[in-house]
Structure 1
Amino acid sequence: MWLPSALLLLCLPGCLSLTGPGSVAGTTGSSLRVRCQYEKAYKGHNKYWCRGKYGRVCRKIVETKGEEKEKRNGRVSIRDHTDNLTFTVTMENLNMNDAGSYWCRIQTIWILDVLSWDPSVQVEVSVFPAPSTTPGSTACLAVPDTLQTVNDGQNLSTKEMLTHCPG
């Protein structure tokens, strides 16, 4: 019984300062949104989305500048919603090459940034082929139970997806 308490003590202040989904999924040609929540202390900081298997060496894709205005880089955009302490990343027109490990991050130090520890949360993005349909039929995509599907800003579990699919 003491083990969970001991593990909680290992969590240094600020280690839960950023939260987000562990995984999201979409289909080729569609869009997905990832929403990450942060603590009030980071309200004016830059938030960014980067790609890489390891957080220390991820390639920055798009970044806010501490304001609510949307920033875009190609098919990816980011917007900071300071009123509810979240930022949203949107990936549009998904393709199979978009699958991989990404990170929601908050920039904390601007000098010697490579050596700083930016609060971060890893998000595994999965992309599945779009279902093929023939005239008069409907196809549904099955995704593993461990993934959440994000569609138009909504998180749907596999069970919820199946209720949206005929049959």
Structure 2
Amino acid sequence: MWLLLVLFLPVVQGSALRAVSSAVSGPLQGSLTVQCRYEPGWETYHKWWCQGAKWSDCHILVQTDGSEQEVKGDRVSIKDNWKSRTFTVTMEDLRWNSADTYWCGIEKSGTDLGVDVKVTIDPVTVQCHYSPAWETFVKSWCPDRDLNSCRILVQTTGPELRKNQLSIDQKKRTFSMTIWGE
């Protein structure tokens, strides 16, 4: 009987915490929200949000103090709601390098409870219009305001594309580009 209890215990603990969604996405420079639910009895425990693909290398970005008070970190906040047994993490001013594996966690003696959440950044589509006089010119995309130091990410050479993220509609005199995280 003792062996059966030891083998069953990790399964019970693992189900004490779950993310409402195991994958979330948000827009570049926007925000996203993640909700993590827990079973009764964990209300006053410290909840945390950390970044890193491996549990062992995860870096805690923000943590509650065991209360329902919202805690803010650098572009991230966490708030616990004991009545709904849910803590909510909000990430703001999303950047390309915000895409990663994160963990909802509950601090406890021994090994903390944790569940992973995959965060991605939505692709961005930019559409540029040009007059008929510019139809034969090379079109390019550079993410920097300073054109002198800008690194061109994609450009056309006449009618050909150097990368497949750029499309040209000659009739509408537009070119569009979709950017995915670097």
Q: Which band: TM-score by shorter chain?
A: 0.5 to 0.7
Gaps of 5+ in 1: 1-8, 110-115, 142-167
**RMSD, aligned α-carbons:** 2.4
1:128 CA displacement: 2.4
Contact 1:105 1:119 in 2 (8 A): yes
C-alpha separation in 1, matches of 2:80 and 2:9:
30
Question: Which residue identity is paired with 1:44?
Answer: T
1:133 CA displacement: 5.2
User: What do the CA deviations read for 1:72-112 (whole angstroms, capped 9, x no partner)?
Assistant: 11210000011100000000111101000100000002xxx
C-alpha separation in 2, matches of 1:121 and 1:63:
15
Which of structure 1's runs of 4+ aligned residues deviate more than 3 A? none
Query: Partner residue of 1:90?
Result: 90
Q: 2:117 aligns with which of 117, 123, 134?
A: 123
TM-score by length of 1: 0.68
User: Number of aligned pairs?
Assistant: 125
Q: 1:132 aligns with which of 126, 131, 136?
A: 126
Structure with max Cα Rg:
2
Alignment partner of 1:15 is 2:14: yes
- Give the structure with the larger strand fraction: 2
Query: Partner residue of 1:76?
Result: 76
- Give the structure with the larger helix fraction: 1
C-alpha separation in 2, matches of 1:75 and 1:130:
21
Higher RCO (CA-CA < 8 Å; seq separation 6+) = 1
